[in-house]
């Protein structure tokens, strides 16, 4: 993912609008792409290990799947870093908010990412962030969020 400088119109519209128009789509695309590769890696590893004798299966899975998870974690961190860089270019982000970058498993082996501007006084700010994903699936998403 490559962060570009926000346009003057988006920046003038306000920090949150700038983040949503200039950064969120690129960040979501980055996350979706990394999970396509992760899912393919996991499928290939599981397929390979299905052919080994039961006594060797755990070692095979560890050997084949660990690189998938390590790559996913590294790429997810890169997506977050790129989003944070774009997010900072949209400042100043005035207002009483707690901002997050969230990645959710929305079911059907699909992941998505979204920017969340939550009320810092809320007892459940993550409930506000989960709403960003409800339009994409019927069930409650499994979600992790990083503060910005």
Q: Which helix (H) or strand (E) holds 105?
A: strand 98-105
**Each residue of 20-61: pLDDT tens digit?**
999 999 999 999 999 999 999 999 999 999 999 999 999 999
Domain count, the chain: 1
Range of the domain at 70: 14-147
Q: Is residue 9 part of a domain?
A: no
Q: Is residue 7 part of a domain?
A: no
Cα 17 to its chain centre, rounded Å, is 19
Residue 79: strand pairing partners: none
Q: Is residue 5 part of a domain?
A: no
Mean pLDDT of 96-107: 85
Q: Is residue 1 part of a domain?
A: no
Give the per-residue pLDDT at 9.
43
**Each residue of 2-24: pLDDT tens digit?**
334 444 444 444 588 899 999 99
Q: Is residue 67 part of a domain?
A: yes
Q: Is residue 75 part of a domain?
A: yes
Q: Is residue 3 part of a domain?
A: no
Q: Is residue 42 part of a domain?
A: yes
Report H helices in the chain. 8-12, 15-18, 25-50, 54-89, 125-134
pTM, two decimals, is: 0.78
């Amino acid at each position: 993912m490559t962060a570009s400088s926000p346009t003057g119109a988006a920046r003038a519209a306000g920090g949150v609008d700038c983040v949503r128009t200039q950064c969120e789509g690129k960040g979501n695309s980055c996350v979706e792409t990394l999970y396509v590769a992760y899912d393919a890696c996991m499928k290939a590893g599981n397929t390979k290990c299905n052919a080994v004798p039961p006594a060797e299966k755990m070692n095979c899975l560890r050997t084949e799947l660990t690189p998938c998870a390590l790559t996913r974690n590294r790429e997810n961190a890169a997506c977050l870093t790129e989003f944070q860089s774009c997010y900072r270019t949209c400042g100043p982000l005035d207002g009483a908010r707690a901002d997050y970058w969230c990645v959710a498993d929305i079911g059907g082996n699909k992941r998505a990412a979204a920017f969340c501007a939550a009320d810092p006084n809320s007892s459940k700010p993550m409930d506000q962030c989960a709403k960003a994903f409800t339009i994409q699936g019927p069930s409650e998403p499994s979600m992790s969020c990083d503060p910005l």
